[in-house]
Structure 1
Amino acid sequence: MQPRLAILILTYNEEKNIGLCMDSASFADEIVVVDSGSTDQTAAIVAEKGGKIVVHPMVDGFAGQRNFALTQTQAEWVLFLDADERLAPEVEEEVWRIMERGDAFAYEILRKNIVFGQPVFHGGHAPDWSLRFYPRAAIRWEGIVHEAAKVTLPVKRLHACMFHHTYQDWERYFFKLNQYTTMLAQKMHEAGKRASFGAICFRPLAGFFKFYVLKSGWRDGKMGFILAAFHAFYTMAKYVKLWTLQRKGGR
């Protein structure tokens, strides 16, 4: 019997992205969208395009949401997508060929990042390999914000790629920045980590140097500088929030 493929997508207010994302994945046997409570037209668009929509509050972070998604299909193979990602046309032929062979491997796929409409090839956004395609029984996700896929199989890489249309407007960028830094600070606090004022001052500078110099972000021009600068701000926000939690907790 031919193995089945499910594309699993997490959403929250993704009406601008979900349609094109699903179109790029239309070759799958099933598209399952796990939504954490959208107030826009996300659910209606998913239903219109024939996807399965499941509303599930995000109570255990992104890893918990992805693990829940795994329980919403019986397909033998799964491929995770984010709503702002698009699969290249070559993905279809490659994944079906892998499934037909019954390969006992998990697969990374290269994400080509497009930031505010500009492709970026350096800094913290490249190269960006993400472990997304595998037999459903071989995968589990761990982590709160920057979740990671844990697999029980050897890992290979797909030849085909995906396109990641990340940060298409500044409002969404700052929404995610605020959301992620709050969750990371809480996770660090619960793990007993502390933030000194020195960390607040110097870790952002180290982050900028890493992204802009060591990872050649300067080669992406003005956008490379902007992204490195905002990575520094992201780092500072995370440690300021951790520092605030310490003070509230009397630590």
Structure 2
Amino acid sequence: MPKSNVTVFLEVFNEEERIESCLKSFYWADELIVFDKNSTDRTREIAKKYATEIVLVPFSHASENVVKNISSRKSCEWILFPTASSLIHPNLVDEIIKLTSDNDFNYDVIGLPYSMYSFGISSKYSPWTALRKNILIRRSALQLSSKLHNEIGFNSDRIFEMPFIAEDQLLYHCTHKDADDFFGRVIRYTRYEAEYEKPINRSRALNKAFFEIFKSLATVVFRRRSFVLGWDGIALSLAYVCYFIMKFIYVWDVRRENGSVVYPALRKKIDALWDEDKLNGV
């Protein structure tokens, strides 16, 4: 395979179940750099077979430690940011290399034809869907941030939307394999988001989180019309809205004295009463 002029940066933590397929999909890049957030499973062992370099970074729920490393590293002219959930069709890679190796290609961002699977379902009616993913960025246009969910961006409007070659020749994202996986991620992500936004005024934070619930409802009912998928659409819609409901509950909970404070105080009070009765021989 010819030189791609592409560096792949991949951030992982405990991904032994799916990382090998992901790494096979991006092994074609001139550089395949894996940022491992101190995995405790076989992730690093598997990555060593494919990665040009493995960089250990402190664990965090977000990507701030990876962003710090990327900003101080040299790379190829083009940078690709998949996740451990990503797979890519070989024929799409051939077309990507034609673009990234062309000195006359006058764009800074390449929107890759994209298919996102959630709970094993990919559909234009799914709340989790997009036609293209802008994750292949020219180094000079790359914009890094420590802001949650906005760590990787770009500062150019020269975006090339790759045409669809064939129905299956896509960049794939496979997330939420089942309900257990979904709820585990929702708890981790929404709890972290609530903690991240803790400095925001309580009223403002709650208003914002409450508005996001209504926005998610509008997405599944009007924008995506997920109900067209029948029971699958209803389940996907409820899962999508559930994310924002959970976030609201965490935003509310981290800004108040909850059971972690109230219950010990109550136990202490009742214990003291029983101890007093015991001393009085009751």
**Fold match (TM-score > 0.5):** yes
1:167-246 equivalence runs, <5 A? 167-192=176-201, 194=203, 204=213, 207-246=216-255
* C-alpha separation in 2, matches of 1:168 and 1:86: 15
Distance 1:135 1:199, change over 3 A: closer
Could you tell me which of 89, 104, 109 is aligned with 1:106?
A: 109
5+ unaligned residues in a row in structure 1: which ranges?
none
Answer 1 or 2: which has greater strand percent: 1
What is the alpha-carbon root mean square deviation over aligned residues? 2.8
Q: How do 1:1-251 residues align onto structure 2 when only pairs under 5 Å count?
A: 4-59=5-60, 61-62=62-63, 64-66=65-67, 68-69=69-70, 71-102=72-103, 103=105, 104-142=107-145, 144-147=147-150, 149-153=152-156, 154-159=158-163, 161-192=170-201, 194=203, 204=213, 207-248=216-257
Q: Alpha carbons of 1:198 and 1:43: their partners in 2 closer, same or farther (altered >3 Å)?
A: closer
57-66 vs 226-235, greater mean Cα deviation: 57-66
Distance 1:211 1:64 in 2: 34
Q: Give, in angstroms, the shift of residue 44 of structure 1.
A: 0.5
Q: Is the 8 A contact 2:10 2:84 kept in 1?
A: yes
Change (3 A) 1:214 1:47: same
Larger CA Rg, structure 1 vs 2: 2
Could you report, residue by residue, the CA deviation over 1:146-169 in whole angstroms, capped at 9, with x for unpaired residues? 225332332222235301111113
Q: Please, which runs of 5 or more residues in structure 2 have no aligned partner?
A: 165-169, 259-282
CA distance in 1, matches of 2:128, 2:187: 19
Mapped contact 2:32–2:50 kept (Cα < 8 A)? no
- Contact kept, 8 Å, 1:138 with 1:152, in 2: the verdict is yes
Deviation at 1:96, TM superposition (A): 1.6
CA distance in structure 1 between the partners assigned to 2:45 and 2:142 by the alignment:
29
TM-score between the two structures when normalised by the length of structure 1: 0.85
- Runs ≥4 residues deviating over 6 A: 195-202
| Number of equivalent positions | 248
| % identical equivalent positions | 19
TM-score by length of 2: 0.76
